[in-house]
Chains A and B, each alone.
Chain A
Amino acid sequence: MYKIIERRMIVPNLHEFTVLAPAVAETVKAGQFVIVRPDPLGERIPLSVADWDREAGTVTSIFMQVGSSTAKLARLKPGDSIPTYVGPLGKETVIDRFGAVLCVGGCYGIGSVFPVARALKEAGNRVITILEARSSFLLYWEDRFKKISDDVKIITRDGTRGRKGHISLIPEMMQRAGIVPDLVIVNGCTFQMMRVSMVTKPLGWRTIVNMNPIMIDGTGMCGVCRLSVGGKTKFACVDGPDFDGHEIDWPEFLARRKSYNPEEVDPLRRSSCRSHF
């Protein structure tokens, strides 16, 4: 059993989730994920890693409450335990001295792009962080990004913070700032990663995305996390989760992500709130 150190809603519907898992904390790196099972009847779901404390043996993720499994996680309190917390899985994000790197985060990806930005900064890169949210009240960790970035830019859909608009404003914003990035790294929802890849492709900006498919074992056995990259089938759990965003078959990936949507929310309808549906 793995003890919950912290589980709190940091902005509406997004939860910071810290678990005591010394074996994972000792070796985890930016870009990797863990597989979590909330209770003995629960499913195995992947969560990207957002931070860790090697000495304390803790690992932190940000997750969004969507379906029944994340609802179970969202009900956990510090001191509770969960039966499965295994990792670190997947390959780490490649960290090198690239030059100017755009780190783009949205939703739960704001959390997971944080250690990537931090490692890139430590490796001597010029790190420009771009955080996108629908509204200012959905932004978090801005202060943490400021400490490790050369610049932090904000985009909100409703204009309540930073630039008003959408993630596809990135090229224009970079042009204004006079920056031509050597690399773009995106952690966020599928749609955001797709949009960024679409706008950077014509510019030839190399774009790495941290993919988030359905997984079961997460160790290269079941094959559910497969996606087409450059016309070839790859497995996100062992070949990724980082891939070249310009090579991904996005429509196929979006369809596969949705394959269990009805079942994801079905158990919620059977909860005590049945009368609400």
Chain B
Amino acid sequence: MAEEKPEKKKLDLTRRAMPKQNPWERIKNFDEVALGYPVQAAVEEASRCIKCKKPLCNQGCPVGIDIPGFIKCIVEGDFASGVRKIKETNALPAICGRVCPQEEQCEKTCLLSNKGAPVAIGRLERFLADWEAAEGKIEVPPMAGKTGKKVAIVGAGPAGITVANDLIILGHEVTIFEALHECGGVLIYGIPEFRLPKAIVNREVEYVKRLGVKIVTDFVVGKTRTVDRLLQEFDALFVGSGAGLPWFMEIPGENLNGVYSANEYLTRVNLMKGFRFPEYDTPVKRPCRVAVVGGGNVAMDSARTAVRLGAEEVHLVYRRSKAELPARVEEVENAEEEGVIFDLLTLPVRLIGDRNGWIKEMECLRMELGEPDASGRRKPIPVEGSNFRVPFDAVVIAIGNSPNPLIPMTTPGLEISKKGGIVTNPETALTSRPNIWAGGDIVRGAATVISAMGDGRIAAACMHKYLVNK
């Protein structure tokens, strides 16, 4: 490993690399790409922590994990205590360790990030969670006495599971209602197996079930029962119903066959196991030339899925430049290693079909960057007359989604934003109704797993106060 010259004698600026599957092997399977730290690398990485007097890393964490605390445990080799430390505030460490954007959060505020080598907090979190699972001794935290209060949670995604975990420990009776046939929400239908193995999601769901949380699947709140009907039986309700209708570009040809929303594409593959068709019944097409439109993590997931489904060429089409890609750097690198071609500064303007209604070509415009726009990023401006056409036999649109419409449509008195999300007080996650809280994508639109969990944490605290005073 490259030795950098340390500034002080003891400052170790070499982030320990995490082993990964080789790109030429992993594009042929759906197994996890990143393999996790072996014990020695984890201890070495943890030992790089400089033990700041006033640590900033935990302030960067949306759920406030005691990061210096668990790192110290790893240094001392006391992994069991490290797990306990994390689980004080985070019910899903194996998941967060894998999919949180640490470079924007804890690792960004790590003092060593000024030197370009923050402690790999996410990888260490993952190490502890995986260590615990491998040991097979998953501990149950101390539980408070029963309060007799009943809580309903809509959606078994990251927000809902966090609320359930927090409130059951505090002694409330918790029931989660899940619309799909499996629990995990976006962790199951959206994030691919190669980034987050489903066995890990199932393990975390089993954990909250073991704590006593009841989970009812195949139950669509807003349809099977309304929120108000549930509130006749429950004292408080949390809405974590997640992502809704996918956005499209509103250009001609988007309803052609072979044009998918990322939600559809990923759901077919992840939730329904389309990549194992015909063993599983849900089919997914295996086209040769795939365009994925968008630049976020979902776009990367879609492009890398297309590679694994055997596409000869996968293009990621994004209207800004590489610097503006909203996806995690790690995911962009993974996609590049796997052969995804980045068509940057490119804007699709029309999708062209064949006579049977299947996508055949995409017409695009070249873009150039102008002045910064409202988001602070340089605004892409079309270059006039730069139209060109590229042949594709599938296009995946991954430009985001609105919050799920079912509960806003069926719950009177709930304040809804212009974008269709439920409006909450950010400090309490309380909605405009006194006994309904909400968090995650149903409030934020398309956001991250950890921000959904952060919302859940805030909601649970406020719900607990409400329930004990009720």
Q: Point out residues on A near B: beta carbons under 8 Å.
A: 23-24, 27, 37, 41-44, 68-69, 72, 83-89, 216-217, 219-224, 226-228, 233, 235, 238, 249, 251-252, 255-256, 258-260, 263-264, 266-267, 270
Contact = CB atoms under 8 A, between A and B. Distances in A.
Given A86-B179, A255-B356, A220 B225 contact: no
B202 to A, nearest CB: 14
B244 A256 contact: no
B254 interface: yes
A84 B218 contact: yes
B245 A235 contact: yes
A215 B358 CA distance: 18
Interface string B207-220: 00000000000111
B245 A223 contact: yes
Interface of B: 179-181, 189, 218-220, 223-225, 242-246, 248, 250, 254-258, 260-261, 263-264, 267-268, 271-273, 277-283, 356-358, 401, 404-406, 409
Nearest to A83: B181
What DSSP secondary structure best describes chain B's contact surface? loop
A252 B357 contact: yes
B223 A219 contact: yes
List of 4 A-B pairs having minimum Cβ-Cβ separation, nearest first: A255-B357, A263-B283, A223-B261, A86-B218
Given A222-B261, A251-B357, 12 more contacts: A86-B224, A217-B179, A217-B180, A219-B220, A221-B245, A223-B245, A223-B261, A235-B245, A238-B405, A238-B409, A255-B256, A267-B278
A259 B257 contact: yes
B225 A27 contact: yes
Nearest to A256: B257
Nearest to B254: A233
A37 B358 CA distance: 28
Q: Which one of A221, A256, A259, A266 has the highest number of Cβ atoms from chain B below 10 Å of its Cβ? A: A221
A270 B225 contact: no
Contacts, number: 125
Contacts of A264: 283
A41 B271 CA distance: 11
A238 B281 contact: no
Nearest to B268: A216
Given A83-B181, A220-B404, A42 B281 contact: yes
Contacts of A216: 264, 267-268, 271-272, 282
A256 B357 contact: yes
Nearest to A225: B264
Contacts of B179: 86, 217, 219
Contact of A224 (B180, B264, B273, B406): B264
Contact of B223 (A83, A88, A221, A226): A88
Contacts of B254: 233
A271 to B, nearest CB: 10
23 contacts: A23-B225, A27-B223, A42-B281, A43-B281, A68-B278, A68-B281, A72-B281, A83-B181, A84-B218, A86-B218, A88-B223, A89-B220, A216-B267, A216-B268, A216-B271, A219-B406, A223-B263, A233-B255, A255-B257, A255-B357, A255-B358, A256-B255, A256-B257
Contacts of A238: 245, 405-406, 409
Nearest to A91: B409
Contact of A41 (B225, B256, B281, B357): B281
B255 A252 contact: yes
B223 A87 contact: yes
B241 to A, nearest CB: 9
Contacts of A249: 255
Contacts of B245: 220-221, 223, 235, 238
Given A27-B224, A43-B281, A84-B181, A221 B357 contact: no
A219 B404 contact: yes
Contacts of A84: 181, 218
